[in-house]
Chain A
Amino acid sequence: MVSKVLVANRGEIACRILRACNEAGLASVAIYAANDASSLFVELADESFLLDGDTITDTYLHQAQILDIAKNAGVDAIHPGFGFLSERADFARAVTEAGIQWIGPGANAIEKMGDKMTARITMRAAGVPVIPGEEIEETDEDLALQAIEQASTRVGFPLLLKASSGGGGKGMRAVEHPEELLDAARSARREAIAAFGDGRVYLERLLTGSKHVEIQVLADRHGRTIHLGERECSVQRRHQKVFEEAPCATMTEEIRSAMGKAAVAAATAVDYEGAGTVEFLLAPNGEFFFLEMNTRIQVEHPVTEMVTGVDIVREQLRIAAGQPMSCGDLQMRGHAIEVRLYAEDASNNFLPAIGPLSVFVPPEGPGIRLDTGVRQGDEVTPNYDPMLAKLIVWAPSREEALQRMRRSLDEFVVLGTTTNLRFLRELCDVPDVIEGTTDTTMIDRLWPNGWNPNASIEVEDGALMAAAVAESSGLHRQSHSSPQSDDFSGPVSPFRTLSRRYP
């Protein structure tokens, strides 16, 4: 039984989960750091509890504190969202041992997939194709380097060195030539030891020109493990996805079926439960290879929801409560695209930006979904991830979805903080994006010296005129950041003096 859920996360994904709890008729609990006291997600929860501490480690990552709140609040399930504690097997285990339902796979599955070498070995045994390469179990520096050198002759160049405990590009090195190998291996190991306390690295053949394609899976306790088709997330900057879609434009029914079977086999091999994502590299010749499995809900899950009609978070809640998943046979319908709106300066190496959201007006109209954790008047701070929102569009065809995305991005107004809105808008006009032939190196290839916005002189003149007219008309004396003060600035409002009696 699940009746009251604590969401151990913040921002956009906390809002997504809290709303799902509300819709499912479950009581919800938010936890928040002091600097999140006025954030949207805190409002969406039935109850909210302040986390003691000033750093992320002391707040959203503080397992003992979060468990105490969960026990005191009497919750019977914890949803970790993504990031933070979502892939921490020790936390999943502690939650389970406290008699609280973990909304996600068991700690063993998280562990097996979290260690990349173990995952490769497990997948190989399950018959899932992995990228040709070799695991190096040696922990001693000299022995490990020797083994890496020997393995490299069998794997061939160019190759990738990856930390077994790695993620987000840490402890990862591309090696083009044999003479660069040992230096790269030493620095990858150093970085991995510093970041994860585990220097083990493995070798993979470097597959260039590949697409990043992933399969959404769902597994319940009633013996059912299914896949919900693929998402393509090849458009990445600094190893982070910015533009995601479902289905993949170049997918064939045969590859989808084979990849789906491989993903289900991967999940089954680790006794998976709940929602998860199996990531693959899809080579131009149609071959695909297991990359890793994310044992949690993913940022880009909405595009799958839009084309399958399945509410994945709602299914997570159902599965965690021990019920069978509700979705029957799936029919993929139309095309969905998601872009990630970041507070960052795309023209300055995508550096995070901060500032007030003086104006935040998302687009509206048919086929548009906005998942966000902010609203107008909020402040973007350097404390957390700079993702402000996910804009998702759906349309019957890919072409129409792109047209809808262009229209939506043109309508989206964010003032006061630099965002990547225009970068996302220009992505929609890139020939590779229009053709669906994107690969993971596209952004670096298109803008090797960085991206710059491209507005016509006329449009810039119009904008300058707007600024000048606004200044001349004293428009700045009207506050955009606090709409309430506008509403209540007149004579005494009757609503203020109204007093109600509650029984």
Chain B
Amino acid sequence: MEHMFRTRGGSVDVTLARSDDVWILGEHRATVESDGRLKIHLSNGTSGFATVAKVGDCWWVHFKGHTFNFERIEPGASQSGDEGGLTAPMPGKVLQVLVEVGQTVNAGETLMVLEAMKMEHRILAASQGSITEIHFAAGEQVQQGSVLLAMDEED
């Protein structure tokens, strides 16, 4: 599941995978406790409880003595300034490649479909343009952050 949040440092795309009760983000793991808190296991081996509350569009999070306030950006809301989306947001497998090099695509068109933890994730074109490179074929494994495709964007 993909979510976009506005942080102090800018917009961040968070794409979660799930295995039974365990949520996965890269090497981090999380479970939802019965009291509504979240147990977070970080990739560095430490863990802690996060307390969350949603006020309006903002998620307030207390974690390890820090308090954060992330505004959730609704999917479909302006995703300008982020010409990325062409990198793998999570480790997984390429399920489908829907375009060819040289093909012209429209903004929002699906370029590639990934699968991770039995969940599909669509890679969309941020703007109109033409595909210049395709780095993976269907069935190949990708790492988080792998560049999947490249395109020339038209303004």
Which chain B positions have C-beta within 8 A of A418? 69
Give the size category of B's interface with A.
35 or more
Residues of A449-503 contacting chain B, CB below 8 A:
453, 455, 458-473, 475-476, 478, 480-481
Selected from A410, A415, A459, A470, the residue in CB contact (under 8 A) with B38 is A470
| Distance between Cα atoms of A453 and B8 in the complex (Å) | 10
Chain B residue at minimum C-beta to C-beta distance from A411: B65
Selected from B5, B16, B72, the residue in CB contact (under 8 A) with A469 is B16
Establish whether residues A465 and B14, one from each chain, have CB atoms under 8 Å apart when the complex forms. Answer: yes
| Distance between Cα atoms of A344 and B54 in the complex (Å) | 19
Residues of A413-442 contacting chain B, CB below 8 A:
413-416, 418-419, 421-422, 425
Establish whether residues A475 and B64, one from each chain, have CB atoms under 8 Å apart when the complex forms. Answer: no
Judge if A387 is at the interface, Cβ distance under 8 Å.
no
Chain A residue at minimum C-beta to C-beta distance from B72: A471
Return B51 CB to nearest CB of chain A, in Å: 5
List 20 other contacts, CB 8 Å, given A415-B51, A465-B14, A475-B54. Answer: A411-B65, A413-B62, A416-B55, A416-B60, A458-B42, A461-B26, A462-B64, A463-B50, A463-B61, A465-B40, A466-B40, A467-B5, A467-B61, A468-B16, A469-B38, A470-B32, A470-B59, A471-B72, A475-B52, A480-B53
Establish whether residues B53 and A416, one from each chain, have CB atoms under 8 Å apart when the complex forms. Answer: yes
Return A360 CB to nearest CB of chain B, in Å: 10
Interface-forming stretch among A12-20, A282-290, A295-303, A351-359? Answer: A351-359
Judge if A24 is at the interface, Cβ distance under 8 Å.
no
Establish whether residues B63 and A466, one from each chain, have CB atoms under 8 Å apart when the complex forms. Answer: yes
Judge if B136 is at the interface, Cβ distance under 8 Å.
no
Selected from A411, A455, A469, the residue in CB contact (under 8 A) with B32 is A469
| Distance between Cα atoms of A421 and B59 in the complex (Å) | 18
Judge if B30 is at the interface, Cβ distance under 8 Å.
yes
Establish whether residues A466 and B38, one from each chain, have CB atoms under 8 Å apart when the complex forms. Answer: yes
Q: A462 with B40: in contact, given A358-B60, A467-B3 (CB under 8 Å)?
A: yes
Establish whether residues A465 and B53, one from each chain, have CB atoms under 8 Å apart when the complex forms. Answer: no
Chain A residue at minimum C-beta to C-beta distance from B70: A467
Judge if A409 is at the interface, Cβ distance under 8 Å.
yes
| Distance between Cα atoms of A193 and B46 in the complex (Å) | 59
Selected from B38, B60, B64, the residue in CB contact (under 8 A) with A359 is B60
Mark A380-421 against chain B: 1 for CB-CB distance below 8 A, else 0.
Answer: 000000000000000000000000000001110111101101
Looking at B40, B44, B54, the one whose CB has the most chain A CB atoms below 10 A away is: B54
Judge if A64 is at the interface, Cβ distance under 8 Å.
no
Chain A residue at minimum C-beta to C-beta distance from B52: A470
Q: Hey, which bits of chain A sit against chain B, CB under 8 A? A: 355-356, 358-359, 361, 409-411, 413-416, 418-419, 421-422, 425, 453, 455, 458-473, 475-476, 478, 480-481
Residues of B54-104 contacting chain A, CB below 8 A:
54-55, 59-70, 72
Selected from B32, B43, B65, the residue in CB contact (under 8 A) with A458 is B43
B contact face: mostly helix, strand, loop, or mixed: strand
Chain B residue at minimum C-beta to C-beta distance from A478: B36
Establish whether residues A468 and B25, one from each chain, have CB atoms under 8 Å apart when the complex forms. Answer: yes
Which chain A positions have C-beta within 8 A of B1? 468, 472
Establish whether residues B55 and A355, one from each chain, have CB atoms under 8 Å apart when the complex forms. Answer: yes
Q: A415 with B23: in contact, given A422-B65, A468-B1 (CB under 8 Å)?
A: no
| Distance between Cα atoms of A470 and B61 in the complex (Å) | 10
Establish whether residues A473 and B55, one from each chain, have CB atoms under 8 Å apart when the complex forms. Answer: no
Return B73 CB to nearest CB of chain A, in Å: 11
Chain A residue at minimum C-beta to C-beta distance from B39: A466
Q: A459 with B63: in contact, given A464-B5, A465-B23 (CB under 8 Å)?
A: yes
| Distance between Cα atoms of A355 and B60 in the complex (Å) | 12
Q: Hey, which bits of chain B sit against chain A, CB under 8 A? A: 1, 3, 5, 7-8, 12, 14, 16, 18, 23, 25-26, 28, 30, 32, 36, 38, 40, 42-44, 46, 48, 50-55, 59-70, 72
| Distance between Cα atoms of A459 and B3 in the complex (Å) | 18
Q: A472 with B23: in contact, given A410-B64, A467-B5 (CB under 8 Å)?
A: yes
Sample (9) of A-B pairs whose CB atoms are under 8 Å apart: A359-B53, A419-B67, A458-B46, A459-B64, A461-B26, A462-B42, A463-B61, A468-B1, A472-B1
Q: A453 with B66: in contact, given A461-B28, A465-B23 (CB under 8 Å)?
A: yes
Establish whether residues A361 and B54, one from each chain, have CB atoms under 8 Å apart when the complex forms. Answer: no
| Distance between Cα atoms of A254 and B58 in the complex (Å) | 55
Establish whether residues A409 and B61, one from each chain, have CB atoms under 8 Å apart when the complex forms. Answer: no
Chain B residue at minimum C-beta to C-beta distance from A461: B28
Return A116 CB to nearest CB of chain B, in Å: 40
Which chain B positions have C-beta within 8 A of A455? 66, 68
Looking at B3, B14, B48, B53, the one whose CB has the most chain A CB atoms below 10 A away is: B53
Return A449 CB to nearest CB of chain B, in Å: 16
Chain A residue at minimum C-beta to C-beta distance from B46: A458
Establish whether residues A409 and B65, one from each chain, have CB atoms under 8 Å apart when the complex forms. Answer: yes
Q: A466 with B7: in contact, given A415-B60, A471-B59 (CB under 8 Å)?
A: no
Which chain A positions have C-beta within 8 A of B3? 467-468, 471-472
Establish whether residues A469 and B60, one from each chain, have CB atoms under 8 Å apart when the complex forms. Answer: no
Which chain B positions have C-beta within 8 A of A475? 32, 36, 52, 54
Establish whether residues A463 and B68, one from each chain, have CB atoms under 8 Å apart when the complex forms. Answer: yes
Establish whether residues A461 and B68, one from each chain, have CB atoms under 8 Å apart when the complex forms. Answer: no
Which chain A positions have C-beta within 8 A of B28? 461-462, 465
Establish whether residues A467 and B36, one from each chain, have CB atoms under 8 Å apart when the complex forms. Answer: no
Return A378 CB to nearest CB of chain B, in Å: 13
Which chain A positions have C-beta within 8 A of B25? 461, 464-465, 468
Return B142 CB to nearest CB of chain A, in Å: 20
| Distance between Cα atoms of A157 and B38 in the complex (Å) | 59
Establish whether residues A466 and B72, one from each chain, have CB atoms under 8 Å apart when the complex forms. Answer: no
Establish whether residues B14 and A464, one from each chain, have CB atoms under 8 Å apart when the complex forms. Answer: yes
Which chain A positions have C-beta within 8 A of B42? 458-459, 461-462
| Distance between Cα atoms of A471 and B40 in the complex (Å) | 15
Establish whether residues A467 and B65, one from each chain, have CB atoms under 8 Å apart when the complex forms. Answer: no
| Distance between Cα atoms of A409 and B70 in the complex (Å) | 21
Q: Which 6 A-B pairs have the closest CB atoms?
A: A476-B54, A410-B65, A466-B50, A415-B60, A467-B59, A358-B53
